[in-house]
Amino acid sequence: MKTKITLLIGIALVILTSCVKNNPKPAWIKIEKWQLEANPLLSGSEGDLIHNFSEAWVYVDNKVVGVFELPIKLPILLEGAKEIVIFPAIKNNGIAKSKKIYPFVESYRATINLVAGQTVLLNPTTRYSSISNFSFVEDFESASIKFVTDPNSNASISQVPHTDPGRTGYCGHIALTQSDSLWTGTTNDGMVLPKQGAEVYLEIEYKNTNDILTGVLAITIPSSIVTHPYIRLNKQTNPVWKKTYIDLKEIVSYSPSTDYFEQFLQILLNKGMVSSDVYIDNIKVIHF
């Protein structure tokens, strides 16, 4: 299916490009970056509204135009009233070549009037779907931290205020040294997550001078725990806040007998380093 979609998009872009060369006055659509709004039906359960919907799947009159990084200005060889539908998309697992419509947020729809030589400006908005289920949210704004530090850890996590321009509130901080070189934290409640190919995602913001290993514990009552190490978030030379979306569907669906799951983060001082700092925030596990 992915190959077919990629091929169709490629064909559409080739046709679009060749036609524009022969038509000096297409209509234009300029699409600005996504804005994420609160969904009142969720009553704030979605937590902070920071996002990284950097991409967009664009359809005009039910025909795919392509997948683009926003902002973008697109030539369209159509005129008159047309319906445009834009789907928020992510770099799945942080991989630039793996772009996917994010299933938990709504598309943007509008009817626009296309005129040759003129530009229509769109400021697309989206919000989490009202049927989204947030099994875990940690924004570090409560009095207690929702991660449980593993007894084998010799480092700890603390709640500290944001110091970066434009950011407010608090985040989690893990400081590693050669003597305090390991921190492992797990979510404080077991999560019953849907299987059979259902969409399940981890959202995480991070700013790090050390690698972060993400993973899942699959727990079966009474005493079976299977550890699934997964995506590694590489250290940054010039650390800035990043947000990524990690696809947990395969891990969860391939654990059919598991009773519940726990998300874990593990930070081990990188080889050759004397110390490092990791900051994390707005961590969510989401599914339908």
Domain positions in the chain:
2-127, 133-287
Cβ neighbour number for residue 209 with a 10 Å cutoff: 17
Residue from 98, 120, 100, 119 nearest 111 by CA: 120
Residue from 36, 196, 51 nearest 125 by CA: 36
Query: Residue 176 class from Cβ within 10 Å (0-12 exposed, 13-18 middle, 19+ buried)?
Result: buried
Q: Tell me the pLDDT tens digit for each residue of 36-93.
A: 999 999 999 999 999 999 999 999 999 999 999 999 999 999 999 999 999 999 999 9
Specify the CATH architecture of the domain 2-127.
Sandwich (2.60)
Tell me the whole-structure pTM to 2 decimals: 0.90
Specify the CATH architecture of the domain 133-287.
Sandwich (2.60)
Same fold, 2-127 and 133-287: no
The mean pLDDT value of the chain amounts to: 93
Q: Tell me the pLDDT tens digit for each residue of 3-38.
A: 444 444 444 444 444 444 555 699 999 999 999 999
Residue from 205, 142, 207 nearest 169 by CA: 142
